[in-house]
């Protein structure tokens, strides 16, 4: 991810993140929403893994490779701004999930650690650059998963996206310079011989950036998937919606009428190989306001690192 100090009427500001980048025009009336137009969470990252948890104790990994690109920056009404703008980012993310041998309030208990590494490339108004490094580390201390009915699962957790990684307030960066608190609730109905529907709801409650005095507004992220199971295969759609619903602030002053919105949707295919699970999906940016419209390709591979019995850990 990436960001930078922004204000209305500011002179050309460039920022970057894993999968999204921003450019503010010289003397433009519109500023990018969220600091630098960057969400501290890459909407769409969950893919087909909504509320999909291993039912047995063990340690599991989800390896995620993503390539995202954007060729445009969009204004407050979703109009494309006439700015020379191209960005791309490659990310390699390791999600480690610990599954515990006990329940709480009838729910299985998990913890998660997310470690993203990003390579960011920018070409904006003739200015080119490349930045590489660790993005913001995320920790979920406790994640609870309930089986509400046959094939129906509900999960709830609280993510802490820490102020870590390669960040600079004066140039495009692969990390944001503030902590983000993110409560998450998800619901999934998955019939192994039929329909699969899931939705994940997340709030981004962002702290102030101590280096810039900028506080990004609170935003909602909804991620969704729909598919049909055919033996070991699943065909369907995945997507994500982001809606910022409180204003940004600069040194305590409100930056009004400048909130980010994005919507992306695309096809998905899953193969459950027993020992591991593979998902490939493409998410096309359909709408953007006060941010860039990004397109992303995701390859997700889920594998058990340790579990008993190992065969029961497949397909989480």
Classify 34 as helix, strand or coil. Answer: coil
Classify 1 as helix, strand or coil. Answer: coil
Alpha-carbon separation of residue 151 from 61, 133, 190 (angstroms): 23, 40, 5
Q: How far apart are CA 113 and CA 77, in angstroms?
A: 37
Q: What is the CATH number of domain 13-313?
A: 2.40.160.40
> Where are the chain's structural domains?
13-313
Report pLDDT digits (tens) over 259-311.
999 999 999 999 998 889 999 999 999 999 998 999 999 999 999 999 976 45
**Lowest mean pLDDT across 54-58, 105-109, 123-127, 309-313:** 309-313
Q: How far apart are CA 67 and CA 69, in angstroms?
A: 7
Report pLDDT digits (tens) over 84-106.
888 999 999 999 999 999 999 99
Question: pTM for the whole thing?
Answer: 0.87
Q: How far apart are CA 165 and CA 294, in angstroms?
A: 22
């Amino acid at each position: 991810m990436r960001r930078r100090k922004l204000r209305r009427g500011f002179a050309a500001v460039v920022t970057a993140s894993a999968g999204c980048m921003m450019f503010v025009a010289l003397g433009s009336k519109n500023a990018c929403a969220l600091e630098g137009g960057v969400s501290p969470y890459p909407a769409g990252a969950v893919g087909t893994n909504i509320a999909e948890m291993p039912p047995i104790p063990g340690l599991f990994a989800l390896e995620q490779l993503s390539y995202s690109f954007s060729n445009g920056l969009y204004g407050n009404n979703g109009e494309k701004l006439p700015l020379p703008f191209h960005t791309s980012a490659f990310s390699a993310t390791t999600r480690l999930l610990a599954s515990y041998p006990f329940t709480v309030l009838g729910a299985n208990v998990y913890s998660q650690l997310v470690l993203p590494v990003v390579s960011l490339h920018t070409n904006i108004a003739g200015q080119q650059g490349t930045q590489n490094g660790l993005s913001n580390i995320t920790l979920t201390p406790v994640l609870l998963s309930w089986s509400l009915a046959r094939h129906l699962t509900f999960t709830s957790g609280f993510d802490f996206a820490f102020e870590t990684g390669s960040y600079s307030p004066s140039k495009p960066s692969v990390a944001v310079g503030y902590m983000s608190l993110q409560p998450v609730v998800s619901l999934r109905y998955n019939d192994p011989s039929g329909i699969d529907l899931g939705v994940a709801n997340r709030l981004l409650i962002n702290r102030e950036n101590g280096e810039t005095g900028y506080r990004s507004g609170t935003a909602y992220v909804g991620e969704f998937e729909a598919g049909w199971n055919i033996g070991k295969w699943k065909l369907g759609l995945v997507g994500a919606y982001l809606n910022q619903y409180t204003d940004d602030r600069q040194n305590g002053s409100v930056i009004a009428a400048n909130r980010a919105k994005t919507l992306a949707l695309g096809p998905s295919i899953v193969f459950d190989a027993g020992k591991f699970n593979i998902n490939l999906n493409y998410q096309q940016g359909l709408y953007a306001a006060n941010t860039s419209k990004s397109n992303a390709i995701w390859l997700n591979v889920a594998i058990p690192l340790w579990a008993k019995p190992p065969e029961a850990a497949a397909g989480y």
